[in-house]
């Protein structure tokens, strides 16, 4: 019995240690990743976040954007409040991936073993602060998306679907850069949404009262 209790104690300690080691994220802002969960202890609601993670030798990213919820919810209800939330629905595994030892032709170790964990690249809070390294340009993606929605809405108010479609056609002539591609794709998405809604006799949604987004670095 004593041996069993001792073994159980060792296992329990090991689990706690492993859990602590797998925590990552932006602790200075009160947001962590642990296992397949995002933990929000920031005191602010999270309106968007981007996770980067290793997959097949490459770094992938996935952004979860809750800004659209502001069409039907108050700012105090949109996104993620304080608590623990599962991110499995995005196909992200935030457990560290152990990389194999790399050796050269002489058998000398030149890399690894190491750990390539998932990371929080960017978090947007309800007060408009976007924090994190933002290597994935989440700030640009979100601001372009909001601008495209405003532009399509203004065109629709001014001249209906024809004006919105004219704006969509204009974006085809823009140089192919990443910001232009993102803007064009968002304009197309909003125009298609308007077409779908109006074809069914509905009214276009009002533009949400988006927070003014700004980057914060420490």
Measured distance CA(67)–CA(25) in Å, rounded: 21
Q: Would you say residue 136 has pLDDT above 60?
A: yes
What the block records as the tokens of 69 is 């919820």
Nearest to 67 by CA among 142, 150, 152: 142
Sign of the Cα torsion 83, 89, 93, 95 reads: positive
pTM of the entire structure? 0.73
Residues 6+ apart with CB under 8 A from 197: 203, 204, 205
Report the pLDDT value the prediction gives residue 160, as an integer from 0 to 100: 92
* Residue 118 CB-half CA count within 13 A: 27
Measured distance CA(67)–CA(46) in Å, rounded: 10
Phi, psi at 10, each rounded to 5°: -65, -45
Report the pLDDT value the prediction gives residue 80, as an integer from 0 to 100: 94
Q: Are strands 214-215 and 129-131 parallel, antiparallel or unpaired?
A: parallel
pLDDT band (50, 70, 90) for residue 162: very high
Measured distance CA(71)–CA(1) in Å, rounded: 60
Report the pLDDT value the prediction gives residue 89, as an integer from 0 to 100: 54
Q: Would you say residue 109 has pLDDT above 90?
A: no
* pLDDT, tens digit (0-9, with 9 covering 90-100), for 16-64: 222 333 457 899 999 998 877 899 999 999 999 999 887 777 788 889 9
Q: Would you say residue 5 has pLDDT above 60?
A: no
* Cβ burial 98-113 (10 Å sphere, 16+ → b, else e): eeeeeeeeeeeeeeee
Compute, in degrees rounded to 10, the torsion defined by CA atoms 120, 31, 213, 177.
0
């Amino acid at each position: 019995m004593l041996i069993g209790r001792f073994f159980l104690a060792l296992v329990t300690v090991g689990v706690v240690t492993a859990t602590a080691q797998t925590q990552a994220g932006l602790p200075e802002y009160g947001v962590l990743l642990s296992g397949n969960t995002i933990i929000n202890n920031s005191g602010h609601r999270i309106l968007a976040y981007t996770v980067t993670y290793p997959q097949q030798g490459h770094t992938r990213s996935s952004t979860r954007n809750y800004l659209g919820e502001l069409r039907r919810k108050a700012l105090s209800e949109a996104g993620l409040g304080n608590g623990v939330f599962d991110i499995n629905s995005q196909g992200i595994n935030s457990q560290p991936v152990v990389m194999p030892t790399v050796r050269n032709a002489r058998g000398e170790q030149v890399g690894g073993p190491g750990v390539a964990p998932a990371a929080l690249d960017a978090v947007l809070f309800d007060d408009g602060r976007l924090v994190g390294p933002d290597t994935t340009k989440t700030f640009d993606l979100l601001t372009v998306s909001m601008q495209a929605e405003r532009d399509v809405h203004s065109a629709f108010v001014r001249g209906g679907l024809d004006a919105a479609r004219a704006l969509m056609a204009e974006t085809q002539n823009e140089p192919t850069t990443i910001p232009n591609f993102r803007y064009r794709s968002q304009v197309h998405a909003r125009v298609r949404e308007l077409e779908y809604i109006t074809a069914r006799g509905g009214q276009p949604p009002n533009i949400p009262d988006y927070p003014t987004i700004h980057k914060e670095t420490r």
